[in-house]
Amino acid sequence: MPKVNKKTLNLRGNVLDLATPVVMGILNVTADSFYAESRVQSVDQAVDQAGIMILEGASVLDIGGYSTRPGAIDIDSEAEANRVLPIFEALVRAFPDFALSVDTFRASVARQAVEAGAVMVNDVSGGTLDPLMFETVAQLGVPYVLMHMRGTPQTMTEHTVYQNLVPDILFEMQEQFLKLRALGQNDILIDPGFGFAKTPQQNFQLLNQLESFQSFHAPLLVGLSRKSTIWRTLNIRPEEALNGTTVLNTIALTKGAAILRVHDVREAVEAIQLLNSCRSAG
């Protein structure tokens, strides 16, 4: 397996070992996320779903209250916070030692979520939509997922023109990465942003060249789960895209992915286990 220099994350005093890849389960506290099965509509449902994902082998749960599917409806920061904060409070009570991440591009929501128990911030905008995000995360002292996106969730499909796809993305991410480092941010994860300001063909090209992102010497987080690149290519529905997800996740693992962000935890855990068994057999 390709190597990266950084193999651990400091989750507010707890160490997450990434020497073997791990799984991040998705909990969407929204009514319009593209995959209906990932949506939770109540605190009790969130706790139940979280319990299942933990039993299936998730190492982190990622909770988001803002749908980032193409063309999603915009909501303000207060509405977003009102969606996710009760979920964090309930999950901390139910699973006090489990790692929780907040999926937000807003510094105010990130701060409130960390105060409520989150130990990681997953920002789909890579700091481009809130000028206070980098400073806030550095102050909070939690790992930060730097993802590549252009525009906003509402406009990103209009920003898919690149002179040279992977070098352009690396250049844009490096600028943000160096800003974070200058602020003293230690734990940074790199997410190339599959599906965000990228066409299906570009997503396949990105996956094919995923090793390029190891130049950051930071863990790679990959989010391919049930995305339109899979179901549009196969002419199926998102509900039928689990097999395709597993195939692409396995390819990502062979190219150095350290964290798989998924809707279906058990299948991702199994892919990691089988690949590791294959490699250890020599």
Q: pLDDT for 68-93, tens place per residue? A: 877 678 899 999 999 999 999 999 99
- Distance of alpha carbon 91 from alpha carbon 208, whole angstroms: 37
Predicted local distance difference test score (pLDDT) of residue 6: 66
Predicted local distance difference test score (pLDDT) of residue 18: 96
pLDDT at 186 over 50: yes
Catalytic site residue 181? no
Q: Is 212 exposed, middle or buried (0-12, 13-18, 19+ CB in 10 A)?
A: middle
pLDDT at 194 over 80: yes
Give me the catalytic one of 111, 198, 226, 227. 227
Give me the catalytic one of 93, 261, 266, 279. 261
Predicted local distance difference test score (pLDDT) of residue 74: 87
Predicted local distance difference test score (pLDDT) of residue 7: 85
Q: What is the mean pLDDT of residues 111-128?
A: 98
Predicted local distance difference test score (pLDDT) of residue 30: 77
Q: What is the mean pLDDT of residues 207-236?
A: 97
Predicted local distance difference test score (pLDDT) of residue 150: 96
Residue 199 CA: distances (Å) to CA of 12, 51, 130, 164, 203: 37, 35, 25, 14, 6
Where do the domains of the chain lie, and which CATH numbers do they carry?
A: 8-280 (3.20.20.20)
Catalytic site residue 261? yes
